[in-house]
């Protein structure tokens, strides 16, 4: 058990608290509670004890050493795990899910491994339609960390539990695990009780994925010999990116790759300057695939669209800020937006505009969906 405990701490993260099982009908299953960190801004619960019992592995798979396993599930940082909250099913159900899965191989004389699914027959708790689960390799771990070698040479395999909707479970049963997971590649491994259903929402594909490129704005500065700091080319891009991050519109991959930046922004938004981040980490570009399916759809409509468009709104703000006479002056040469001071007031003003565009887009999208549904 000590080897498993040490492996969990080294691979999933250090932990001080363990959710001990008061009574055990068979094997004793504790849950290691790995708290959120800057690099991994989510809770991780990992079973410790499931692997004490060998599972009934098919003979043809014996060479893969799959007899022992432990399970993990990741929860948002705001998930309540204190004793009082865990008396409520809306907070407790991931704990129940882990424990029931951990005991399944014993009660059913079977085994669990990658790609296996289980059916709860009903939603896990009020407030969510998630009702099934699939096991995958923990995506947050480095290669090799999903296996723990015991002192005697045996292997314990770690699997990530991803809750599913009924339609997603049916999709997997009609196809296979790989096909479902390919369709879910934008879904975060961190539990979201209200996430979109992967069988009804397709990640959008685009012929021109570049929303904006700082190089284009930089060329204007050079060609017109504008007396402005080159960092200004990132001003409007940073404003848009910040708004989308604050509203949860980034893709799973983006959120995981840049978790530390997102954490800093949420902790101190007014003092987190994303301009250097866009320049150094994003190669000066905003790409549609940085965003979630909903975020990408909105960005295609607004940032890369026409009437209204984000670039037009940025120009309109510059006109309002400087006034008509200065806006068209030789000083700016039709690039007044580059001269607007980059400060919190600029962000807050544009955030109101973006929000209004979002509200309009969301309303029109909902109306279109309703009309489409009524015509079918």
Report the alpha-carbon angle 249-190-348, nearest 5: 30
Q: Roughly how many angstroms between the first and final C-alpha of the chain, as a whole number?
A: 57
Q: Residue 48: which of 91, 78, 18, 93 has the closest Cα? A: 18
Q: Point out the domain boundary residue: 183, 201, 226.
A: 183
Check whether residue 302 and residue 234 sit in a common domain. Answer: yes
The pLDDT score that the predictor gives to residue 206 is: 46
Are 135 and 226 part of one and the same domain?
no
Q: Based on the domain organization, do 27 and 175 belong to the same domain?
A: yes
Q: 80 with 91: CB under 8 angstroms?
A: yes
CA distance 322 to 133: 56
- Can you give the pLDDT at residue 373? 54
Do 141 and 243 belong to one domain?
no
- pTM assigned to the model: 0.60
Q: What is the pLDDT of residue 371?
A: 65
Look at residue 194 and tell me if it is in a domain: no
- What pLDDT is attached to residue 171? 95
Q: Are residues 245 and 131 in the same domain?
A: no
In a domain, 192, yes or no: no
The answer as to whether 268 is a domain residue is yes
**Assigned domain for 196 exists:** no
Tell me which DSSP letter residue 162 carries: E
Are 102 and 170 members of one domain? yes
In sequence order, the β-bridge partners of residue 74 are 44, 190
- 249 in the same domain as 173: no
- pLDDT score of 314: 98
Q: Is 348 contained in some domain?
A: yes
Q: Is the domain of 240 the same as that of 145?
A: no
Which residues of the chain, if any, have pLDDT below 70? 201-208, 369-376
Rounded (10°) angle between helices 235-246 and 310-322: 120
Number of domains forming the structure of the chain: 2
* 3-state SS, residue 88: coil
Phi, psi of 132 (to 5 degrees): -145, 180
For residue 113, the enclosing domain spans 2-183
237 in the same domain as 115: no
Strand ranges (DSSP E) for 252-304?
Answer: 285-287
Whether residues 233 and 141 share a domain: the answer is no
Q: What are the contacts of 218-223 at 24+ separation with CB within 8 A?
A: 220/335, 220/338, 221/335, 221/338
**Is the residue at 202 inside a domain?**
no
Domain-located, residue 34: yes
pLDDT of residue 375: 47
Pick the last residue of a domain from 166, 183, 200.
Answer: 183
Instruction: Tell me how far apart the alpha carbons of residues 133 and 356 are, in angstroms, rounded to a whole number.
Output: 38
Task: Give the model's pLDDT for residue 252.
Answer: 82
- 197 is a domain residue: no
For residues 169 and 279, state if they share a domain: no
User: In this structure, are 174 and 284 located in the same domain?
Assistant: no
Of 137, 168, 183, the position where a domain reaches its end is: 183
Q: Would you say 263 and 41 are in contact if contact means Cβ atoms under 8 Å apart? A: yes
What is the predicted pLDDT for the residue at 376? 47
């Amino acid at each position: 058990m000590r080897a498993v405990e040490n492996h969990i701490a080294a691979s999933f993260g250090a932990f001080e608290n363990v959710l001990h099982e008061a009574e055990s009908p068979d094997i004793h299953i504790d849950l290691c509670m790995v708290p959120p960190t800057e690099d991994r801004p989510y809770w991780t619960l990992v079973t410790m004890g499931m692997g004490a019992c060998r599972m009934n592995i098919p003979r043809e798979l014996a060479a893969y050493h799959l007899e022992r396993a432990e399970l993990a599930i990741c929860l948002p940082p705001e998930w309540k795990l204190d004793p009082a909250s865990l008396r409520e099913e809306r907070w407790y159900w991931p704990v129940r899910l882990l424990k029931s899965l951990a005991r399944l191989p014993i009660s059913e004389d079977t085994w669990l491994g990658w790609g296996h699914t289980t059916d709860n027959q009903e939603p896990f708790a009020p407030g969510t339609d998630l009702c099934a689960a699939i096991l995958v390799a923990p995506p947050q771990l480095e290669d090799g960390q999903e296996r723990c070698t015991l002192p005697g040479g045996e292997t314990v395999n770690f699997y990530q539990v991803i809750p599913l909707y009924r339609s997603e479970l049916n999709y997997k049963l009609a196809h296979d695990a790989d096909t479902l997971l390919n369709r879910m590649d934008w879904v975060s491994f961190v539990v979201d009780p209200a996430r979109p259903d992967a069988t009804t929402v397709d990640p959008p594909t685009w012929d021109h994925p570049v929303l904006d490129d700082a190089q284009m704005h930089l060329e204007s500065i050079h060609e017109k010999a504008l007396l402005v700091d080159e960092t200004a080319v990132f001003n409007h891009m940073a404003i848009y990116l910040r708004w989308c991050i604050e509203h949860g519109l980034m893709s799973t991959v983006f959120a995981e790759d840049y978790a530390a930046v997102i954490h800093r922004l949420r902790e101190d938004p007014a003092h987190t300057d994303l301009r250097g981040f866009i320049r150094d980490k994003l190669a000066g570009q905003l790409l549609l695939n940085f965003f979630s399916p909903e975020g990408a759809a909105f960005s295609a409509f607004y940032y890369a669209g026409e009437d209204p468009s984000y670039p037009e709104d940025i120009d309109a703000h510059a006109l309002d800020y400087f006034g008509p006479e200065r806006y068209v002056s030789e000083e700016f040469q039709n690039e007044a937006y580059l001269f607007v001071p980059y400060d919190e007031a600029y962000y807050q003003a544009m955030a109101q505009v973006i929000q209004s565009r979002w509200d309009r887009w969301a309303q029109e999208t909902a109306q279109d969906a309703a009309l489409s549904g009524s015509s079918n």
